[in-house]
Amino acid sequence: MTDDSSAQRSGGGEGASLTAADVARLVGGRLVGGDGGRVVRRVAPLHRAGAEELTFLAAAKYADEFRDTRAAIVLVPPALAETPGAPDAVRIVVDKPHEALLKVLPVLYAAPPRAPGIDPTARLGRGVRIGDDVTVEAYVVIGAGAVLGDRAWVESHSAVGAGVELGEDAHVYPGVTLYPGTSLGRRVAVHSGARLGSDGFGYVFGEGAHRKIPHVGRCIVEDDVEIGANTTIDRGSVDDTVIGAGTKIDNLVHIGHNCHIGKLCLIMAQVGVAGSTVVEDGAILAGQAGVGGHLRIGRGARIAAQAGVMGDVPAGATYGGYPARPHKESLRAHAAMFKIADMMKRLERLLAREDAT
Amino acid sequence: MTDDSSAQRSGGGEGASLTAADVARLVGGRLVGGDGGRVVRRVAPLHRAGAEELTFLAAAKYADEFRDTRAAIVLVPPALAETPGAPDAVRIVVDKPHEALLKVLPVLYAAPPRAPGIDPTARLGRGVRIGDDVTVEAYVVIGAGAVLGDRAWVESHSAVGAGVELGEDAHVYPGVTLYPGTSLGRRVAVHSGARLGSDGFGYVFGEGAHRKIPHVGRCIVEDDVEIGANTTIDRGSVDDTVIGAGTKIDNLVHIGHNCHIGKLCLIMAQVGVAGSTVVEDGAILAGQAGVGGHLRIGRGARIAAQAGVMGDVPAGATYGGYPARPHKESLRAHAAMFKIADMMKRLERLLAREDAT
Amino acid sequence: MTDDSSAQRSGGGEGASLTAADVARLVGGRLVGGDGGRVVRRVAPLHRAGAEELTFLAAAKYADEFRDTRAAIVLVPPALAETPGAPDAVRIVVDKPHEALLKVLPVLYAAPPRAPGIDPTARLGRGVRIGDDVTVEAYVVIGAGAVLGDRAWVESHSAVGAGVELGEDAHVYPGVTLYPGTSLGRRVAVHSGARLGSDGFGYVFGEGAHRKIPHVGRCIVEDDVEIGANTTIDRGSVDDTVIGAGTKIDNLVHIGHNCHIGKLCLIMAQVGVAGSTVVEDGAILAGQAGVGGHLRIGRGARIAAQAGVMGDVPAGATYGGYPARPHKESLRAHAAMFKIADMMKRLERLLAREDAT
């Protein structure tokens, strides 16, 4: 959100460019029948790519758009290399065009620039420690004793609680709240509006009221985690809440108190994980899935979208439906339900006849 | 959120008033047996409306509350015109009392006033362009090169990224983040805490890590769109994310990268739409529904609450359940499931007997 | 989020300590075979508790961790009093160890301290009334005519709309928005990013557009309510939205316009309640459940996680599934669906044979 970022990431390359030969070399692809000197400055989708723009054909279903594209360079997978169309383009054949973009985009689009320095409107509490080359933007508030590692970047309007620690190269987008008791590892990115370390939902009913259990556990986010916009992760009650290294969490996700999420997990938008649940390394939770409290999702398990998990899930399994079961069984049972609706009248007649005999 | 807004929208009319005859004329209704000079200054629900207040009878189920209401004027539909009650009231018969409020409310309740001007605490980056009569409130941060159209209104604590464009009369409530790459059309309203243009959830696994695909597409919001509180809409990866003109989006909705939402759609609270999905004009997505990625929801289709859509939906169709199917089939299959549970013992006996023969 | 809070709630007791005899007296427990003078300063989970730390055994499934814990004091329930392990610990037998923490934690961990005063960067509109001993932190914006009761605490970056009222001891965490028309009772806590009093989702289609119904109702939050991070509660359209005293609401919940939520309800993460629905006292809505509009959830009813409620629910009932039905029936029907999938081939054969006869 610093001054020039959009000129870069959205406006395109400010002069950066690649030739077709450069691109082929960069992505490990093969240039077929065309001018290796053709220049591109931006990447665009098939339907609006033009001169100086590179595009890609991801699947056969986009053949119509491919036919008419005015792109200058197209990346095509081997199986679709001969697809007719793209009359103005140099073709580069590469195994996975979409993944190849990972190599092209950072060259054409500079990352948002970051101007180190502490904005004069930033409010720092007593004993805050600031590493080298840190950026703290306008109207940030940082509580006493917080620690910002080298090159940490806190964007505008964020509230960093007392004693919170940010690792080197951590990046906090605008309007984030890190409650006291939170720590972020190195290269962690927290998107706008995420709330980390808020009190968990823990009450004991008595004396006519839901009495709150004070939360004194921490919220620990390990290295290389990315957390989506408006996601909430509660601090632990007595234990800690932990998000393992390299895990990626999408927008509007809820992670309850004391959860331990493993390393390299993918947790998609609007997933909810209730308190004290363990999600082992490499598990994938698809959009809007819900996982109950005090459960264990095994290593590498996959939970289908909207699944409602009410028991442990074995490592490597794929579960879906509500209550979640092995996904194939769940889809099969669902299909049976539709079939049985069609058979219902005949079944009722049959049972009536049986009863009569 | 300017100084006097609540005195208006919540406190009521500060002197504005309507007579029963005014109301009848305004809503195209018919005054029955009463004093056309009766005055109202506010609108209230049946149970707490009193002297100087107008209320309405929306359905027969509210007949009890209608009987006892102390309102001064009541709007009643033709079919319920003779409902006993409302002893102090003048009655106005009108086809759709609830819709008639659209005409009455703006007269009695002034819209929140807006004081044009740039608050001295607002931070504007280099090259920001400001139209006529714009309001920028306290502690707003606007990045370099952003453009605010005439009469645009940015409330407190919002972060407007570099290069972002706001159309004429756009209204951004407090604490909103517009990432670089976002543009808002004319008369767009973005409620508090919404995050537009955040990076999508796109990673490629390799070299032991989920490697992030840089997002360089935009987040384009067309004219007359309203976006609810704490909703998130990701920017495109290479293509753009687009919200069509006149579409209304409720709170806590997630729209993934590259989605194209059509015009005049209604998307209710907590809906999630995964990446690259097309929702055609006039479609309605009810609360908590989820739509998978790379799908197409046809023009005017309706998706029931909590539906889980895993395939394309034809234009005009109503789908529900998980995986979503035509809603009637889905409800019928669900009913069959309950019936079959009741029949289960007899079915098992029958099959056992068959096997024995 | 004031300067020293983490030193307290997360760092532990800054000198506060309890002996085993103190703890036994405090929780009404029985000290068994150990040194009543043993001192603890913090509470920790079994796996990382050490000298000077108290822990607890909540259930038999944690016997392994209990065996190895290095805690100084352990709370154990009568049934597990003889569980082997915890070699360094003094044991205290108490009926419900987890609830006993309610008495121990506040002694060892001071509540986050609060420094009364209005930060010089806080912006107060005309006619704002401030009670005794109030805290308003940095970059807070308060609209004209708002009222803050004694000891109210508004943390950084929050926006308090014109005319909003905060009761005594109300606590608004960082980055909250209270729209005009909102009022908070005494001791209400609103977590970071919550949006209260935003416009409801109300439109009438006509003249080629979704025309917005102005919202003039209020958002009333009664005493002792706690509201989670990033939750949204809309104001009423004509009627009010009301959250009853003592109700607790988790993160990312959506409550629609005109809802009346009773007293002492529990509403868990990501629940959605559509407009004009009544939830009576003591009802519990589990995570991700959805409730349609204009419904009534009876007193003390329980709604299972992910349930989709499409009709009224009787008092005291437990409902689940979609469309929600009595939870036991719903689970039984679901089980039948899986059974029927297994029986399908035989059923089809049977019907074919019947048809042939």
- For a pLDDT cut of 70, what percent of chain C falls above it? 96
Q: What is the mean pLDDT of residues A90-114?
A: 92
pLDDT at C4 over 60: no
Residue of C206 and A15 predicted with greater confidence: C206
Those residues whose C-beta lies under 8 Å from the C-beta of residue B287, and which sit 6 or more positions away, are B250, B268, B269, B270, B271, B305, B306, C254, C272, C274, C290, C292
Which pLDDT band, with edges at 50, 70 and 90, does B251 fall under?
very high
**Using CB atoms, which residue from A105, A250, A337 is nearest to B214?**
A105
Could you tell me if A216 and B178 are in contact, meaning their C-beta atoms sit under 8 angstroms apart? no
Confidence of residue B34 (pLDDT cuts 50, 70, 90): confident
Confidence of residue A353 (pLDDT cuts 50, 70, 90): confident
How confident is the model at residue C2, as a pLDDT? 46
**Minimum-distance CB partner of A340 among B163, B180, B340:** B340
C267-279 pLDDT, tens digit per residue, is: 999 999 999 999 9
Predicted confidence at residue A14, as pLDDT, reads: 57
Task: At C206, give phi and psi (nearest 5°).
Answer: 180, 155
CB atoms within 10 A of CB C15: 7
Confidence at residue A111, expressed as pLDDT on a 0 to 100 scale: 82
CA atoms of B197 and B234, how far apart (whole Å): 5
∠ CA A320-A323-A324 to the nearest 5 degrees?
A: 25
Name the one residue in this structure whose structure tokens are 């300067």: C3
d(CA C104, CA C54): 9
| pLDDT greater than 70 at residue A53 | yes
For C108, the enclosing helix (H) or strand (E) is: helix C97-108
Query: What's the confidence (pLDDT) of residue C97?
Result: 94
- Please tell me the distance in Å from B213's CA to the nearest CA on chain C: 27
**What residues form DSSP beta bridges with B32?**
B91
Q: In the numeric block, which tokens belong to residue B27?
A: 């809503």
Q: Is A282 on the interface with C (CB under 8 A)?
A: no
C-alpha–C-alpha distance, residues C266 and A210, integer Å: 9
Provide Rg for chain C, Cα atoms: 26
Mean pLDDT of B275-301: 98
Q: Which pLDDT score is estimated for A7? A: 34
Amino acid B33: pLDDT: 73
Residue type, B20: A
Cis omega (within 30 of 0) for bond into C323: yes
pLDDT score at A5 = 37
Question: Structural domains in chain B?
Answer: 5-108 (3.40.1390.10), 118-327 (2.160.10.10)
Residue reference for tokens 């620990």: A220
Q: What tokens were used for A29? A: 């692809």
Give pLDDT tens digits for A5-21.
333 444 444 579 999 99
Q: Does A195 touch chain C (CB under 8 A)?
A: yes
Render C56-87 in DSSP notation, one character per residue. Answer: E--SGGGHHHHHH---SEEEE-GGGTT-S--T
How many CB atoms neighbour CB B76 within 10 A? Answer: 23
Q: What are the pLDDT digits (tens) for B339-353? A: 999 999 999 988 888
The more confidently predicted of residues B301 and C10 is: B301
Q: Which two tokens stand for residue B311?
A: 């395939």
The first and second tokens of residue B321, run together, are 């359940």
- Enter the tokens of residue A116: 């180190």
Which amino acid, C89?
A: A
Residue of B306, B328, B330 to mutate, interface with C, max C Cβ within 10 Å: B306
With cut-offs at 50, 70 and 90, classify the pLDDT of residue B1: very low
Give the pair of three-digit tokens for residue C342. Answer: 């297994």
End-to-end CA distance of chain B: 79
Q: Model confidence over A242-251: pLDDT tens digits?
A: 999 999 999 9
Mean pLDDT of A150-158: 98
Stretch B69-87: mean pLDDT, rounded? 96
3-state helix, strand, coil in chain A (%, to 5): 20, 30, 55
What are the backbone dihedrals phi and psi of residue A24, each rounded to the nearest 5 degrees, phi first?
-55, -45
A289 pLDDT more than 90: yes
Number of CB atoms found within 10 A of residue C183's CB:
22
**Which of C84, C90, C53, C48 has its CA nearest to residue C69?**
C48
Q: Tell me the range of B108-112, B305-309, C110-114 where mean pLDDT is highest.
A: B305-309
pLDDT band at C111 (very low <50, low <70, confident <90, very high): confident
Preferred mutation among A186, A195, A251, A346 to probe B, highest tally of B CBs within 10 A: A251
The model's confidence at residue C14, banded by pLDDT at 50, 70 and 90, is low
Specify the pLDDT at position B6.
36
Band (C5; pLDDT cuts 50, 70, 90): very low
Give mean pLDDT, residues A148-175.
98
pLDDT of res. B353: 85
- Note whether C181 contacts B: Cβ–Cβ < 8 A: yes
The SS3 call for residue C123 is: strand
Q: Provide the angle, in degrees to the nearest 10, between the axes of the packed helices C327-356 and A327-356.
A: 60
Whole-number Cα distances in Å, B91 to B79, B86, C17: 13, 9, 71
d(CA B9, CA A60): 54
Q: What is the pLDDT of residues A181-238, one digit of tens each?
A: 999 999 999 999 999 999 999 999 999 999 999 999 999 999 999 999 999 999 999 9
- Average of pLDDT values for C53-76? 95
Distance CA B220, CA B227 (A): 13
Percent above pLDDT 70 for chain A: 96
Query: What average pLDDT does range A38-62 have in this prediction?
Result: 94
CA distance B28 to B94: 7
Query: In DSSP terms, which residues pair with A136 in a beta bridge?
Result: A118, A154
Beta bridge partners of A325: A320
Locate C238 and state its tokens: 């004509």
DSSP line for A39-95: EE-EE--GGG--TTEEEE--SGGGHHHHHH---SEEEE-GGGTT-S--TTPEEEE-S
pLDDT at residue C32 tops 60: yes
What mean pLDDT is predicted for residues A65-74?
A: 96
Distance separating alpha carbons of residues A262 and A298, to the nearest angstrom: 10
Q: Note the Cα A168 to chain centre separation in Å.
A: 21
d(Cα C32, Cα B156) in Å, to the nearest integer?
59
Say if residue B131 is exposed, middle or buried (CB neighbours under 10 Å; 0-12, 13-18, 19+): middle
8 A C-beta contact, residue C210 and residue C204: yes
| pLDDT surpassing 50 at residue A88 | yes
Active site residue C257: yes
Nearest to B344 among C180, C310, C339 (CB): C339
Mean pLDDT across chain C: 93
- Cβ–Cβ gap B159/A337 under 8 Å: no
What per-residue confidence (pLDDT) applies to B14? 57
- Residues B294 and B277 sit within 8 Å (Cβ to Cβ): yes
Sheet with A266-267, side-by-side order of all strands: A117-118, A135-136, A153-154, A171-172, A189-190, A226-227, A248-249, A266-267, A284-285, A302-303, A318-320, A325-326
pLDDT of A215 reads: 94
Residue B312 carries which side chain, given as an amino acid letter?
A: D
pLDDT computed for residue B144 by the predictor: 96
- How much is the mean pLDDT over chain B? 93
Coil, strand or helix: which one is B258?
coil
CB–CB of C256/C273 below 8 Å? yes
Looking at the complex, report in whole angstroms how far the Cα of residue C263 sits from the nearest Cα belonging to chain B.
Answer: 20
Quick one: tokens of C177? 């928005």
- What is the mean pLDDT of the segment spanning B307-336? 96
Chain A residues whose CB is inside 8 A of the B214 CB are: 9, 102, 105-106, 109, 111
A256-268 tens-digit pLDDT = 999 999 999 999 9
Please state, in angstroms and rounded to a whole number, the distance separating the CA atoms of residues C165 and C150.
12
**Contacts of A259 by beta carbon, 8 Å cutoff, 6+ apart:** A241, A242, A273, A275, A276, A277, A278, A279
**Tens of pLDDT, residues B152-174:** 999 999 999 999 999 999 999 99
3-state DSSP assignment of residue C95: coil
Alpha-carbon distance of B28 to C353, in angstroms, equals 66
pLDDT band at C353 (very low <50, low <70, confident <90, very high): confident
Amino acid of residue B318: T
B178, pLDDT greater than 50: yes
Opening angle at CA C23, ends C18 and C26, nearest 5: 115
Instruction: Using CB atoms, pick whichever of C143, C211, C292 lies closest to residue B102.
Output: C211
* pLDDT classification of B112: cutoffs 50, 70, 90: confident
pLDDT digits (tens, 9 = 90+) for C302-331: 999 999 999 999 999 999 999 999 999 999
Joined tokens for residue B142: 């606007």
- Which pLDDT belongs to residue A110? 84
Q: Are the C-beta atoms of residues A156 and A172 closer than 8 Å to each other?
A: no
Residues composing chain A: 357
The pLDDT score that the predictor gives to residue C356 is: 77
Show the tokens assigned to C328.
């036991």
Q: For residue A80, what pLDDT is reported?
A: 95
Whether C11 shows a pLDDT value over 50: the answer reads: no
Distance CA C196, CA B277 (A): 31
Catalytic residue among C157, C191, C215, C257: C257
Instruction: Quote the pLDDT of residue C33.
Output: 74
Which among C30, C24, C66 is positioned nearest to C47, based on CA atoms?
C66
Among B78-82, B278-282, C6-10, C57-61, which stretch is predicted with the lowest mean pLDDT? C6-10
Catalytic residue among B171, B215, B257, B260: B257
C251 touches chain A (CB under 8 A): yes
pLDDT score of A2 more than 70 = no
Q: Mean of the pLDDT values across residues C10-16? A: 56
Predicted confidence (pLDDT) per residue in C151-197, tens digit:
999 999 999 999 999 999 999 999 999 999 999 999 999 999 999 99
Query: Which residues, 6+ apart, have CB-to-CB distance to B357 below 8 Å?
Result: none
Which chains are adjacent to chain B, needing at least 3 Cβ pairs under 8 Å?
Answer: A, C
The one-letter amino acid code at B156 reads: S
CB A200 within 8 A of CB A234: yes
H/E stretch holding B209:
strand B209-212
In this structure, are residues A248 and A263 in contact, taking their beta carbons and an 8 Å threshold?
no
